[in-house]
């Protein structure tokens, strides 16, 4: 009996072990099948060959198109899928150029780059047009804020001045064309006409630079040749005052000569007034900084995709070591901000006025294979000490708000007094 009981126990144990083995085997098979499913899930050809067409996920197909990338992560793949469906099944049609413009305009609007623009071929040609000096203008110096042109200076006695155009007015339309956000280049090129021609410009006067609203008004202006000096100098009680309107190709040479001439007249310190200076050539900002700095970094250029950033340094062309005050305001922008930051970070100058605009980005225009071009932000400026300029600006060492009186110009007077005090120290 004992032997018979022991035999039954062994049989029961064997049956139990066999069940455990079958369960483990089944689990392993399920896991292998699950893993295999992931491996072949995207291989539609393999699934068809082994008879599992039902496992092909229709949502991952791009009907009528073969594209690289997944519709889960690629905009082009998503557009291709829609285009394929419409090409195969839709009764409608569309204009390729018009659709391209609308899609890319929507794409640009969805990004955080205010300067991103798609230019069709005609707009691109207008954007890059080079104008001869024989053409006239309306007597306005333009700058650009978040991709939109505005009047940074209105020349006294010009047709724009006579028609009430003021600093800070944005261009909304030219000759009724308001189907685009006018950039500075486009406005300058559109207004470059034979002397005596008429042009209708619609303006928007916002409450502030960032405000979207504001009163609109139209002006009918006659183009003419307006020549306002880019650089002007004065001597005030041994303070050499230099006003620079923008950074043109000759600006560094003009500033160098101005410094030398003022020193010969007895200047012991200097004020560099770059209020309402919209910038210009970065190379000129570096060269002008080098006139006052013996050495050191002038600007750091940070590219979006590449590392490390590049740096431009002073080029050892110093013309004076005398005290310097830089006068700025909210319309001091771009390369003019680079110049300000370089002289401030190197402790070469005292910066007076109000915080600058904060336009510390670099735009690139890339021609497209199907016509037109794309304008986008390709890099950012940083100060020698690594401070951001874009959307921040350069804060002055001494804040002096303008009293709005052009006759007294309290900011200019304060800057001159500060330069005088630096000599006494």
Is the domain of 241 the same as that of 215?
A: no
Q: Could you tell me if residue 278 is inside a domain?
A: yes
Query: Cα torsion at 157, 162, 166, 167 (round to 10°)?
Result: -20
Q: Could you tell me if residue 270 is inside a domain?
A: yes
Domain boundary among 175, 203, 222: 222
d(CA 146, CA 245): 21
Is the domain of 218 the same as that of 244?
A: no
Is the domain of 275 the same as that of 307?
A: yes
Is the domain of 284 the same as that of 407?
A: yes
Copy the structure tokens of residue 2.
């004992």
CATH code: domain of residue 208: 2.30.42.10
pLDDT digits (tens, 9 = 90+) for 209-252: 989 889 999 999 999 988 888 999 999 999 999 999 999 999 99
Q: Could you tell me if residue 306 is inside a domain?
A: yes
- Max alpha carbon distance in the chain (Å)? 131
d(CA 242, CA 232): 6
d(CA 49, CA 249): 68
Beta carbons within 8 Å of 53's beta carbon, 6+ residues apart = 47
pLDDT digits (tens, 9 = 90+) for 113-136: 999 999 999 889 888 886 555 567
pLDDT digits (tens, 9 = 90+) for 23-66: 666 656 555 555 555 444 445 554 455 454 544 444 445 554 44
Domain boundary among 222, 248, 274: 222
Is the domain of 175 the same as that of 284?
A: no
Q: Could you tell me if residue 218 is inside a domain?
A: yes
Give this prediction's pTM: 0.80
pLDDT of residue 74: 82
* DSSP structural state of residue 60: G
Is the domain of 262 the same as that of 357?
A: yes
Is the domain of 140 the same as that of 157?
A: yes
pLDDT digits (tens, 9 = 90+) for 366-397: 999 999 999 999 999 999 999 999 999 999 99
Is the domain of 267 the same as that of 398?
A: yes
Q: Which domain holds residue 405?
A: 231-362+379-424
For residues 203 and 217, the answer to whether their CB atoms sit within 8 Å is yes
Is the domain of 251 the same as that of 390?
A: yes
How high is the mean pLDDT of the chain?
A: 86
Q: Could you tell me if residue 15 is inside a domain?
A: no
Is the domain of 383 the same as that of 242?
A: yes
Domain boundary among 153, 187, 222: 222
d(CA 150, CA 143): 6
Q: How many domains does the chain fold into?
A: 2
Answer whether the bond into residue 308 is a cis peptide, omega within 30°: yes
Nearest to 191 by CA among 212, 220, 163: 220
Average of per-residue pLDDT across 6-23 = 59
d(CA 158, CA 168): 16
Q: Could you tell me if residue 272 is inside a domain?
A: yes
Is the domain of 143 the same as that of 274?
A: no
pLDDT digits (tens, 9 = 90+) for 142-198: 999 999 999 999 999 999 999 999 999 999 999 999 988 999 999 999 998 889 999
For residues 302 and 380, the answer to whether their CB atoms sit within 8 Å is yes
Is the domain of 239 the same as that of 331?
A: yes
| Phi and psi angles of residue 113, each rounded to the nearest 5 degrees, phi first | -95, 105
CATH code: domain of residue 342: 3.90.226.10
């Amino acid at each position: 009996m004992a032997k018979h009981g022991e035999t039954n126990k062994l049989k029961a144990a064997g049956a139990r072990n066999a069940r455990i083995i079958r369960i483990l085997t089944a689990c392993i098979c399920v896991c292998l099948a699950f893993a295999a499913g992931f491996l072949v899930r995207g291989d539609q050809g393999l699934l068809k060959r082994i008879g599992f067409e039902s496992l092909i996920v229709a949502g991952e197909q791009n009907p009528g198109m073969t594209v690289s990338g997944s519709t889960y992560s690629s905009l082009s793949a998503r557009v291709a899928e829609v285009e394929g469906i419409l090409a195969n099944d839709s009764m409608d049609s569309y204009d390729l150029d018009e659709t391209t413009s609308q899609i890319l305009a929507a794409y640009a609007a969805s990004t955080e780059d205010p300067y991103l623009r798609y230019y069709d071929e005609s707009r691109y040609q207008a954007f890059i047009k080079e104008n001869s000096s024989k053409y006239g203008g309306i007597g306005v110096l333009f700058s650009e804020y978040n991709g939109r042109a505005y009047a940074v200076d209105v020349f006294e006695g010009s047709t724009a001045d006579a028609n009430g155009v003021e600093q800070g007015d944005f261009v909304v339309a030219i000759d009724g064309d308001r189907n685009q956000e006018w950039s500075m280049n486009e406005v300058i090129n559109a207004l470059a006409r034979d002397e005596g021609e008429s042009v209708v410009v619609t303006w928007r006067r916002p409450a502030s630079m960032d405000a979207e609203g504001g009163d609109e008004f139209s002006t009918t202006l006659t183009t003419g040749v307006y020549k306002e000096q880019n650089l002007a100098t004065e001597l005030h009680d041994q303070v050499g005052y230099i006003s620079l309107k923008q950074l043109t190709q000759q600006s560094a040479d003009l500033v160098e000569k101005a410094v030398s001439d003022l020193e010969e007249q007895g200047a012991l310190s200097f004020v560099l007034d770059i209020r309402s200076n919209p910038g210009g050539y970065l190379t000129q900002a570096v060269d002008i900084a080098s006139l006052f700095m013996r050495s050191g970094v002038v600007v750091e250029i940070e590219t979006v995709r590449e590392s490390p950033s590049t740096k431009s340094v002073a080029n050892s062309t110093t013309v004076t070591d005398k005290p310097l005050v830089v006068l700025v305001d909210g319309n001091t922008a771009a390369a003019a901000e680079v110049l300000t930051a370089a002289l401030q970070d190197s402790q070469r100058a005292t910066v007076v006025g109000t915080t600058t605009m904060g336009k510390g980005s670099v735009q690139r225009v890339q021609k497209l294979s199907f016509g037109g071009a794309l304008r986008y932000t390709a890099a950012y400026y940083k100060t020698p000490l690594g401070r951001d300029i874009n959307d921040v600006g350069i804060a002055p060492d001494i804040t002096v708000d303008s009293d709005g009186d052009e006759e007294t110009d309290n900011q200019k007077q304060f800057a001159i007094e500060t330069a005088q005090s630096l000599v006494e120290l």
